[in-house]
């Protein structure tokens, strides 16, 4: 077993952090470490560009779903999809299952349940908070998770990350600032020729969209 497995060191630290945030702030953007509902919605719009060309219903995997806010967003937009939310935090999953229990096209799974593949996989914010994990192990965790998203999303995947172009004086040592050029190249070489790097939507981050 390595640090990237569900019971590995890094993953366990991630679970403890986000469960703590949820227990402190509840089902709010701050509960998943976002600053506002507006910025959260803007991120969702970038991620969902991966499936904007889909014709007919599809399955969407929300990798790191938190309390299910992306499901609420896609339903409000009328996007025709079956939804699977995956998260490490059992309290978040319990809240999502109760809140969306009446949605027959949605399911939520935890780290020790079978994780089905999907047409598209998206991940929002899961690479940002490294805590005191050193940069290189965290970078390896990011690349490992990108490869996992590539396996889970049969028709494509998308993720976001804080940008290394952030103002140096505002950077925090507990956060990971990724090089968008490096991750673009990584996805282009390993996963698909159809890769987009979105770095123009007003936040100190970027989104990568991979279509297959």
Assigned token pair, 143: 């690349």
Token output for 85:
């939310």
Q: Is there a domain that residue 1 lies in? A: no
The answer to whether residue 87 is domain-embedded is yes
- Give domain status of residue 26, yes or no: yes
User: Residue 73 is part of a domain; what is its CATH number?
Assistant: 3.40.50.150
CB half-sphere exposure, 49, CA atoms < 13 A: 19
Q: What is the pLDDT of residues 41-80, one digit of tens each?
A: 999 999 999 999 998 899 999 999 999 999 999 999 999 9
Q: Is residue 2 part of a domain?
A: no
pLDDT band at 81 (very low <50, low <70, confident <90, very high): very high
Task: Measure the CA–CA gap between 118 and 130, rounded to whole angstroms.
Answer: 27
Span 198-208, pLDDT tens digits: 999 999 999 99
User: How many distinct structural domains can be found in the chain?
Assistant: 1
pLDDT category, 6, cuts 50, 70, 90? low
**Residue 195: helix, strand or coil by DSSP?**
strand
| Mean per-residue pLDDT over the chain, rounded | 92
Whether 4 shows a pLDDT value over 70: the answer reads no
Residues spanned by the domain of 118:
9-211
Q: Residue range 6-25: average pLDDT? A: 82
Please indicate, yes or no, if residue 90 is contained in any of the structural domains. yes
- Cβ contacts of 159 within 8 Å, gap of 6 or more: 47, 122, 123, 124, 126, 127, 146, 149, 207, 208
């Amino acid at each position: 077993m390595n640090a990237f497995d569900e019971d590995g060191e890094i993953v366990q630290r991630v679970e403890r952090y986000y469960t703590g945030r949820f227990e402190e702030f509840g089902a709010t953007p701050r509960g998943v470490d976002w600053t506002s509902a507006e910025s959260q919605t803007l991120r969702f719009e970038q991620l969902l560009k991966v499936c904007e060309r889909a014709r007919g219903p599809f399955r969407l995997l929300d990798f790191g779903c938190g309390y299910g806010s992306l499901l609420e967003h896609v339903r409000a937009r009328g996007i025709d999809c079956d939804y699977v939310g995956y998260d490490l935090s059992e309290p978040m999953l319990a809240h999502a299952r109760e809140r969306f229990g009446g949605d027959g096209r949605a399911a939520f799974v935890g780290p020790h349940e079978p994780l089905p593949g999907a047409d598209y996989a998206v991940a929002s914010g899961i690479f940002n908070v490294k805590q005191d994990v050193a940069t290189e192990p965290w970078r390896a965790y990011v690349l490992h998770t990108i490869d996992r998203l590539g396996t889970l999303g049969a028709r494509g995947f998308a993720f976001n990350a804080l940008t290394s172009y952030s103002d140096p004086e505002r950077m925090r040592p507990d956060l990971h600032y990724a090089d968008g050029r490096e991750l673009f190249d990584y996805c282009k070489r390993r996963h698909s020729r159809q890769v987009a790097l979105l770095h123009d939507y007003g936040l100190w981050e970027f989104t990568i969209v991979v279509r297959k």
